[in-house]
C-alpha cells in the first residue's frame, strides 16, 4: 500500500505499508508537525481526521491554515469556539451572528442580550482562550433529524432549524464539543487547540473576530479598520434589515410566497438609485474630468461603468470610455513573476508614462488617438479612434489599478475621482455559516468563464487562487483611496446563478485538485431555490455573467 503524503498540495513523501493503517500512525513516519494540520484530504474527495483508516493506495493532503481550504477550516473552527464561549457566558438566550468579513476578520453581533460592550469582548476572549488551552475534541456526528431539531430547538437556533427541515430527511451532520452543539456546512478542525492565534476587537455595534495572516500566521498589530468598506457593509445591512432578509431561507421564503419578483425590483432600484447619486455628485465637481473605477474580479465593474455612463448622460455629462487594458506594455517589456510567467496583474505591466501623457493631452484640450492592444500579438497598435475633450466630457477608465495613485501620478488630484466596486455579500446560510464575498464572485466568474470564454469550472477553480493573490497585492490595499464605494452584490443572485453553475460544477472530475472545492460550492447552492433569470432586469449586473444584458461587452 503506497501512501502519497502532500503538505498543502505540495509533494512531501511517499510511504509504503504492508497493511491498513490510520492516518495518525502514518503521520508518525513523516517530519510534518501534526499540530499544524487542521484537516486531511483524501484523494481530492473528502476531509477526514487522523483516526481515518487507509486501506489502499491513497493521496493524503495535509491541510494547514496557510492553504486557502485550511484557512476556511481555521475561521469556521474559531467561530465555533466563539459560539461555545458565548454559550458559556450567556446561555441559550442570545443569538450570535457572524455577519461579514472585514479586514483580517469577521464582524459579529450578539442579539437578544444587553448591549455588547468592550468589557464583554474581553470576557469572551478569555473564555475562548480557556477552551483552546483545554484542547477539547470537536466531534462530527450524525444524528436523526428529529434529534437535531430537539437539540437546536432547545438552543433557540431557528436559523438552523429552517435549513434542517428543508434539506435533511433522515440524519443531520452536526458538531459537538462537550455539551455544545452547532451546525457547519464546511469541515471543522477536530480539536480546539488547533486554533493557535486570534483576537477580538470591539467595533460598535458588535466586534471583529480576527484571524492570523501572513507567512508566519500571526495577528497583525495594530488592527486598522477599513472605515469606508465597513460603512458600506453597514449601509447594506440596514437595507436587508428593512427587507427582512439575512439568510438563504429568507430568500427561499420570498420565492415560495411569490414575492421574489418584487424583491428583485426593489434591490435593482436600490442599485440604480446609488449609481444615480454617484453620477449626480460627480458632475457637481466641475474640475473632475477623469473617473477611475476599480474592484476585484467579477465585481461587475464593466456593467457598473456602463450604467454610470448612462446616469452621467442623464446629468448632462458626456462620457468618453477609455480601456485601461489598451495601455499594456508590449509583451517583450512585460514584467514576469518569480516562476517566469508574465505578470499581467502588476501595475508595471501598464505603460504608465504613455497613459499619463495621453491623459494630460486630453485635459489640455488636445486631440489624441486612443491605442488598441492586440492581445494575440502582445503589442499596442493604432486604432484610428481619435478623441478630444469638450466642455461636458468626462473620461471613464475601468481596471484593477484604478485606485492606485501610481496609475495617474502626473494628474492633479482635483481632476480625478475614484470609485471602488465589490460584491460585498451579506447573505448567509445561517447565523454561523457565512457565505464569503469571494464565493459569490467565484460563482459569477465560473458562469461567465464557461459561457463566454469556454473554460470549464475546473479551469476557473484552479486559477482562482492566483487571481485572489493578485487582488491582495493590487486591489485591496488601495480600496480606502476611493471617493465613492458601490456594493454590486444582489441578495438574490445565488438563486439565479445556481441554474447556470450547477451542471458545470458537477463536471469537475473526482481526480481533480478542484473537486472538493466544486463540491463545497454545490453544497452552498443546494441551500438555494432556483430563481428564473427572466425575472432579472436586462441592465442588471448579474446579466454580465449569465446572459441577456442590454449592454454590449
* Each residue's pLDDT tens digit, 491-535: 999 999 999 999 999 999 999 999 999 999 999 999 999 999 999
Do 54 and 82 fall into the same domain? Answer: no
Structural domains in the chain (count): 3
Q: What percent of the chain has pLDDT over 70?
A: 100
Instruction: Choose among 51, 60, 55: nearest CA to 24.
Output: 51
Do 337 and 189 fall into the same domain? Answer: no
Do 398 and 469 fall into the same domain? Answer: yes
Please compute the mean of the pLDDT values over residues 91-109 and round it to a whole number. Answer: 93
At CA 210, angle to CA 206 and CA 212, rounded to 5? 180
**Candidate from 17-26, 138-147, 207-216 with smallest mean pLDDT:** 17-26
Do 114 and 180 fall into the same domain? Answer: yes
- What are the cell numbers at 369? 488617438
Do 47 and 152 fall into the same domain? Answer: no
Confidence bin at 337 (pLDDT 50/70/90): confident
Do 297 and 343 fall into the same domain? Answer: yes
Q: Are 516 and 69 in contact (CB under 8 A)?
A: yes
Do 55 and 170 fall into the same domain? Answer: no
At 386-401, the pLDDT tens digits run: 999 999 999 999 999 9
At 54-98, the pLDDT tens digits run: 888 898 999 999 999 999 999 999 999 999 999 999 988 889 999
Domain annotation covers residue 256 = no
pLDDT confidence of residue 126: 97
pLDDT confidence of residue 507: 97
Select, from the ranges 149-163, 168-182, 275-289, the one with the highest average predicted confidence (pLDDT).
275-289
pTM to 2 decimal places: 0.91
CA–CA distances in Å: residue 376 to residues 165, 341, 372: 53, 16, 12
- Strands (E) in 330-436, as ranges, are 367-374, 379-388, 393-398, 416-422
pLDDT confidence of residue 113: 82
CATH number for the domain that contains residue 123: 3.30.980.10
Residues belonging to the chain:
553
Domain boundary among 64, 87, 105: 64
Q: Is the peptide bond before 8 cis (omega within 30 degrees of 0)?
A: no
Do 41 and 118 fall into the same domain? Answer: no
Domain annotation covers residue 236 = no
Q: Does position 426 have pLDDT exceeding 90, yes or no? A: no
Q: What is the mean pLDDT of the chain?
A: 93
Domain annotation covers residue 423 = yes
Domain boundary among 48, 64, 80: 64
Domain annotation covers residue 372 = no
Domain annotation covers residue 250 = no
Q: Which domain, by its residues, includes 442?
A: 262-322+332-349+390-544
Q: Is the peptide bond before 417 cis (omega within 30 degrees of 0)?
A: no
Do 152 and 279 fall into the same domain? Answer: no
Do 201 and 299 fall into the same domain? Answer: no
CATH number for the domain that contains residue 294: 3.40.50
Please compute the mean of the pLDDT values over residues 288-307 and round it to a whole number. Answer: 96
Q: Could you give the residue ranges of the DSSP H alpha helices within 155-203?
A: 158-167
Domain boundary among 49, 64, 79: 64
Do 280 and 420 fall into the same domain? Answer: yes
pLDDT confidence of residue 11: 87
pLDDT confidence of residue 16: 84
Domain annotation covers residue 108 = yes
Confidence bin at 297 (pLDDT 50/70/90): very high
**C-alpha–C-alpha distance, residues 124 and 101, integer Å:** 19
Please compute the mean of the pLDDT values over residues 118-130 and round it to a whole number. Answer: 96
Instruction: Choose among 418, 410, 387, 388: nearest CA to 484.
Output: 418
Domain annotation covers residue 255 = no
Please compute the mean of the pLDDT values over residues 429-448 and round it to a whole number. Answer: 95
The larger pLDDT score, comparing residue 134 to residue 27, is at 134
The larger pLDDT score, comparing residue 16 to residue 307, is at 307
Please compute the mean of the pLDDT values over residues 161-185 and round it to a whole number. Answer: 90
Domain annotation covers residue 385 = no
Do 450 and 536 fall into the same domain? Answer: yes
Amino acid at each position: 500500500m503506497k501512501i502519497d503524503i502532500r503538505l498543502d498540495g505540495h509533494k512531501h513523501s511517499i510511504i509504503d505499508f504492508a497493511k491498513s493503517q490510520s492516518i495518525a500512525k502514518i503521520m508518525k513516519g513523516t517530519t510534518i508537525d501534526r499540530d499544524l494540520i487542521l484537516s486531511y484530504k483524501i484523494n481530492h474527495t473528502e476531509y477526514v481526521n487522523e483516526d481515518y483508516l487507509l486501506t489502499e493506495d491513497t493521496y493524503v493532503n495535509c491541510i494547514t491554515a496557510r492553504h486557502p481550504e485550511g484557512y476556511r477550516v481555521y475561521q469556521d473552527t474559531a467561530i465555533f469556539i466563539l459560539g461555545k464561549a458565548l454559550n458559556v457566558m450567556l446561555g441559550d438566550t442570545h443569538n450570535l451572528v457572524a455577519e461579514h468579513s472585514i479586514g483580517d476578520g469577521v464582524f459579529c453581533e450578539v442579539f437578544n442580550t444587553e448591549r455588547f460592550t468592550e468589557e464583554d469582548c474581553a470576557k469572551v476572549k478569555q473564555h475562548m482562550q480557556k477552551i483552546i488551552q483545554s484542547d477539547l475534541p470537536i466531534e462530527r456526528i450524525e444524528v436523526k433529524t428529529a434529534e437535531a431539531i430537539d437539540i437546536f430547538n432547545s438552543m433557540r437556533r431557528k436559523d438552523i432549524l429552517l435549513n434542517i427541515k428543508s434539506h435533511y430527511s433522515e440524519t443531520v451532520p452536526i458538531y459537538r464539543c462537550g455539551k455544545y452543539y452547532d451546525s457547519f456546512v464546511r469541515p471543522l478542525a477536530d480539536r480546539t487547540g488547533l486554533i493557535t492565534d486570534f483576537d477580538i476587537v470591539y467595533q460598535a455595534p458588535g466586534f471583529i473576530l480576527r484571524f492570523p495572516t501572513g507567512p508566519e500566521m500571526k495577528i497583525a498589530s495594530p488592527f486598522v479598520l477599513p472605515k469606508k468598506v465597513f460603512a458600506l457593509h453597514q449601509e447594506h445591512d440596514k437595507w436587508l434589515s428593512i427587507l427582512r432578509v439575512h439568510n438563504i431561507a429568507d430568500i427561499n421564503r420570498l420565492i415560495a410566497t411569490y414575492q421574489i419578483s418584487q424583491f428583485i425590483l426593489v434591490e435593482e432600484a436600490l442599485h440604480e438609485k446609488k449609481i444615480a447619486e454617484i453620477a449626480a455628485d460627480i458632475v457637481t465637481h466641475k474640475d473632475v474630468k477623469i473617473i477611475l473605477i476599480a474592484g476585484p474580479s467579477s465585481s461587475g465593474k464593466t456593467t457598473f461603468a456602463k450604467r454610470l455612463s448612462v446616469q452621467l448622460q442623464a446629468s448632462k455629462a458626456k462620457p468618453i470610455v477609455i480601456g485601461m487594458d489598451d495601455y499594456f506594455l508590449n509583451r517583450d517589456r512585460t514584467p514576469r513573476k518569480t516562476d517566469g510567467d508574465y505578470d499581467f496583474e502588476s501595475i508595471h505591466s501598464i505603460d504608465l508614462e504613455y497613459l499619463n501623457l495621453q491623459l494630460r493631452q486630453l485635459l489640455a484640450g488636445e486631440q489624441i488617438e486612443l491605442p488598441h492592444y492586440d492581445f494575440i500579438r502582445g503589442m499596442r497598435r493604432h486604432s484610428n479612434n481619435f478623441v478630444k475633450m469638450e466642455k461636458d466630457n468626462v473620461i471613464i477608465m475601468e481596471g484593477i489599478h484604478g485606485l492606485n495613485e501610481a496609475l495617474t501620478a502626473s494628474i492633479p488630484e482635483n481632476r480625478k475621482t475614484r470609485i471602488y466596486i465589490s460584491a460585498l455579500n451579506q447573505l448567509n446560510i445561517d447565523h454561523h455559516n457565512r457565505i464569503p464575498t469571494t464565493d459569490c464572485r467565484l460563482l459569477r466568474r465560473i458562469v461567465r468563464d464557461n459561457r463566454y470564454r469556454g473554460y470549464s469550472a475546473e479551469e476557473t477553480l484552479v486559477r482562482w487562487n492566483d487571481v485572489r493573490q493578485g487582488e491582495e497585492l493590487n486591489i485591496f490595499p488601495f480600496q480606502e483611496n476611493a471617493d465613492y464605494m458601490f456594493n454590486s452584490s444582489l441578495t438574490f443572485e445565488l438563486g439565479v446563478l445556481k441554474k447556470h453553475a450547477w451542471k458545470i460544477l458537477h463536471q469537475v472530475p473526482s481526480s481533480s485538485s478542484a473537486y472538493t472545492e466544486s463540491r463545497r460550492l454545490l453544497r452552498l447552492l443546494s441551500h438555494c431555490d432556483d430563481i428564473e433569470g427572466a425575472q432579472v432586469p436586462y441592465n442588471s449586473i448579474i446579466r454580465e455573467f449569465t446572459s441577456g444584458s442590454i449592454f454590449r461587452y
